[in-house]
Amino acid sequence: MKKIFNNGYVRLVDTMGSDLSVVNSARVSFNRATETLRPEDEKLIAYLAKNDHTSPFRHATLQFEVYAPLMVARQWWKYIIGSSHQDPFTAWNESSRRYVTEEIEFYIPKVTDWRSKPENSKQGSGPNLDEKIGGEALDRLLDQIKSGMENYNWAIDSGIATEQARLFIPSAYGLMVRWYWTVSLQGVAHFLQQRTDDHAQFEIREYAQAVKELAKEKFPVSLDALLNHL
Ligand SMILES: Cc1cc2nc3c(=O)[nH]c(=O)nc-3n(C[C@H](O)[C@H](O)[C@H](O)COP(=O)(O)OP(=O)(O)OC[C@H]3O[C@@H](n4cnc5c(N)ncnc54)[C@H](O)[C@@H]3O)c2cc1C
């Protein structure tokens, strides 16, 4: 498991296949298979990635559990192709606030973590701000969370349905949510290509880095090949 920020994480729950299954999926055309990964197999993987023969990479599958702020979940959800939450949307499962099942937590940047607006770009962030602004931002965020949570608890105590009381949950973008993501190795590589890039928001970049490290432990040759050539 890779921890992210104060309370988030990415955990690799399960995998199907290995670098070898990429090779054997490709070699089935010739009715051949190998049991150990040889140097010529590594060359084949590189060739497949370089020449966009991507289907063998879709026989390798990874399942992650992610605990992240809602703003990160919304960005992640957009990766539909190669993730098994594509139509009919069967394999994205997320904790539900209709049934208050666990403690409410938030992503709260530290005093030194508040970033400035970028100078020459409409998206992203510039350098970190000084602690005076950071301290005030943190105080204001904590105040907002406190008052929202008071309203939420009042609504629950007053007998309002939890599925509606959640309207009071503050800082929805920072609300921590947990989900399972099952995805092909090619889907992982596409996600990493976009979300480890500087254009992606800092927070999702941290999660993407964790996904990369976990995926690399299981598919070192194939993931490298895909990332070098996508
Ligand atoms: C820096 C950044 C900023 C972004 N800003 C915004 C934003 O402001 N608003 C917003 O809504 N989204 C935004 N996005 C999300 C972006 O538009 C994509 O939805 C997201 O990156 C997922 O990428 P994808 O569609 O390639 O992934 P997937 O859905 O997984 O698709 C993978 C690939 O499959 C192919 N494919 C998918 N669907 C089709 C199709 N119908 N026909 C043919 N080929 C297909 C394409 O080659 C595609 O790249 C942003 C993404 C990034 C990285």
Segment 174-181 shows an average pLDDT of 93
> How much distance in Å is there from the Cα of 79 to the middle of ligand 1?
7
> What pLDDT does residue 134 have?
97
User: Where along the chain do its domains lie?
Assistant: 2-99+176-229, 111-173
pLDDT in tens, 60-94: 999 999 999 999 999 999 998 878 766 665 666 77
Q: Judge whether 178 counts as a catalytic residue.
A: no
Class of 2-99+176-229 per CATH? alpha beta
Cα(23)–Cα(117) distance, rounded to whole angstroms? 46
CB of 161 sitting under 6 A from ligand 1: no
> How much distance in Å is there from the Cα of 82 to the middle of ligand 1?
12
CB of 194 sitting under 6 A from ligand 1: yes
> How much distance in Å is there from the Cα of 189 to the middle of ligand 1?
13
Which one of 78, 83, 190, 201 would you pick to mutate in the ligand 1 pocket, going by the greatest count of ligand atoms within 8 A of its CB? 78
Segment 19-32 shows an average pLDDT of 87
Segment 184-213 shows an average pLDDT of 96
CB of 208 sitting under 6 A from ligand 1: no
Specify the pTM.
0.89
Could you identify the atom of ligand 1 that is nearest to the CA of residue 194?
A: 53
* Nearest-CA residue for atom 33 of ligand 1: 81
Three-state secondary structure of the chain: CEEECCCEEEEEEEEECCHHHHHHHHHHHHCCCCCCCCHHHHHHHHHHHHCCCCHHHHHCEEEEEEEEEHHHHHHHCCCCCCECCCCCCCCEEECCHHHCCCCCCECCCCHHHCECCCCCCCCCCCCECCHHHHHHHHHHHHHHHHHHHHHHHHHHHCCCCHHHHHHHCCCHHHEEEEEEEEEEHHHHHHHHHHHCCCCCCHHHHHHHHHHHHHHHHHCHHHHHHHHHHC
> What pLDDT does residue 33 have?
77
